[in-house]
Amino acid sequence: MKFNPEKLRIPDQRMKPFIDAQEIWGYINQTPASKIRIREIIAKSLDKNRLTMEETAVLINSNDPELVEEIKQGAKSLKQKVYGQRIVLFAPLYVGNLCINNCAYCGYKASNQKMKRITLTNEDLVNQVKALEDAGQKRLILVYGEHPKYDANFIADTVRTVYSVKSGPGEIRRVNINAAPLDIDGFRIVKDAKIGTYQIFQETYDEETYRKVHLGGIKRNYEWRLTSLDRAQEAGIDDVGIGALFGLYDWRFEVLGLLRHTNHFEACYNVGPHTISFPRIQFASELNIDQKHIVSDYDFTRLVAILRLAVPYTGLILTAREPASTRGEIMQFGVSQIDGGTNLEMGGYSKKKENENQDIDFEQFQINDNRSLNEIMEELIDHKYIPSFCTSCYRSGRTGEHFMEFSVPGFIKRFCQPNAMLTLAEYLEDYAPSETKLKGEKLLAEKLGEMEEDGFKEKLVEKLKLVKEGKRDLYF
């Protein structure tokens, strides 16, 4: 029987669509941006207070280069206040690229006959994880096409397999998911596999545009996707990630769509999203979209800074879709997570890398930062960032509402930076080339020297000593 996505129904009154396009455009078109008001809003955010839709619209409507720079610098200061200088690293691992959808922007679309379709076997998956562990990775996000084969049980099985793989001193300590929306029972199955964050992007919050770019398959149902993470919350998954694909529609609308989504979570579940992602459209096999909403580098930097100020407690993810130079520039304005050593080819991590060129008919889209994990680690260290593989919040129960208790007032920084330093110390001992190790140890010494003598520092020094002695997986 042919699948009809329009027949999917939302099972709970609380899980109803919450995006009102007229409301969002009202904020954009009717909110003036005066210099005094902009500075008041930046100051409010720097006190770690969430911004309203109206306040965020003021920042969006600020076109004076001087004030845009103040917004960016405000975001930079806020990131330092909340998270310190740490940048969390992860790697995406594509498990299968079968797909029943026809999304105009995606190489995996069902109509793309050029795409080479692969689902990793269990042996393939183990080999990929070993290769990632041997590079020093500790955090993965597993990515799946939308296909009946990749149901909740399949996802749960792959998660358990990843956690079971140990190579030398390596292990994966957090497995996040980017996959199709599930029903509540499906989300419960995946939760039982001890996933970290479940990430689903709405792609665009404008329903008319959504229908134009989603031409077939289950993903065509706007409401089913919009309320997907509500079902995850109902199933007990309180760490969720949202995102929009910038370039499909007006970036100002998408920023406020992400904020409205955040407001919805807070109102219904007393918890906001753990992460917000903001990928820009990149070249893909059989790409077929209107180019009028492509986001410039200038506006992209602005929107990242605005998101940081609007939602101080939420992790912001910047991916390898962007070139290294762009990532280096934008990272300072509020980004807290990036991927490193990224390879989107199915089974690509265990293959010998012979050149820098991608086979776009093997991959979902083009990446523009294909440096190794160590190259990225070394650049972060050179710029005084602390590369982090920390998973302590997830494994200590600091998720959902409990995470909000620490992150909203900014207390999470007390844990973030020391835990980042411990995971960096592990990497330096187990995986880093000698030059990177020397740089990293110098950075750790500098950061220790900046810490107050309050008892916490002494505990960190003792744990760092234990790492040197061979102890692993120490955290606060």
- Tell me: the pLDDT tens digits for 184-202? 999 999 999 999 999 999 9
Please say which residue of 381, 407, 433 terminates a domain: 407
Section 96-113 average pLDDT: 96
Please say which residue of 355, 375, 407 terminates a domain: 407
Within a domain: residue 108? yes
pLDDT band for position 149 (cuts 50, 70, 90): very high
* 286 & 144 share domain: yes
pLDDT band for position 219 (cuts 50, 70, 90): very high
Within a domain: residue 326? yes
Within a domain: residue 57? no
pLDDT band for position 409 (cuts 50, 70, 90): low
Question: Is the pLDDT higher at 82 or at 89?
Answer: 89
Is the predicted pLDDT of residue 394 greater than 80, yes or no?
Answer: no
Is the predicted pLDDT of residue 353 greater than 80, yes or no?
Answer: no
Within a domain: residue 65? no
How many domains is the chain built from?
A: 2
* 403 & 419 share domain: no
* 402 & 428 share domain: no
Q: What local confidence, expressed as pLDDT, does residue 73 receive? A: 98
* 139 & 175 share domain: yes
pTM: 0.93
Section 248-268 average pLDDT: 97
* 95 & 195 share domain: yes
* 358 & 453 share domain: no
* 324 & 451 share domain: no
Q: What local confidence, expressed as pLDDT, does residue 1 receive? A: 34
Within a domain: residue 38? no
* 304 & 441 share domain: no
* 456 & 370 share domain: no
> pLDDT digits over 289-327, tens only?
889 999 999 999 999 999 999 999 999 999 999 999 999
Distance of alpha carbon 46 from alpha carbon 59, whole angstroms: 14
Distance of alpha carbon 374 from alpha carbon 352, whole angstroms: 16
Q: What local confidence, expressed as pLDDT, does residue 365 receive? A: 92
Is the predicted pLDDT of residue 407 greater than 60, yes or no?
Answer: no
Q: What local confidence, expressed as pLDDT, does residue 357 receive? A: 73
Section 456-472 average pLDDT: 95
Name the average pLDDT for the chain: 92
Section 221-249 average pLDDT: 96
pLDDT band for position 129 (cuts 50, 70, 90): very high
* 397 & 442 share domain: no
Which candidate, 78, 76, 71, places its Cα nearest to that of 47?
A: 78
Please say which residue of 407, 427, 448 terminates a domain: 407
Within a domain: residue 192? yes
Q: What local confidence, expressed as pLDDT, does residue 10 receive? A: 47
Q: What local confidence, expressed as pLDDT, does residue 198 receive? A: 98
* 335 & 425 share domain: no
Q: Domain residues for 424?
A: 413-468
Is the predicted pLDDT of residue 410 greater than 60, yes or no?
Answer: no
CATH, residue 398: 3.20.20.70
Percent of the chain residues topping a pLDDT of 90: 83
Within a domain: residue 46? no
Within a domain: residue 85? yes
* 251 & 208 share domain: yes
Is the predicted pLDDT of residue 179 greater than 60, yes or no?
Answer: yes
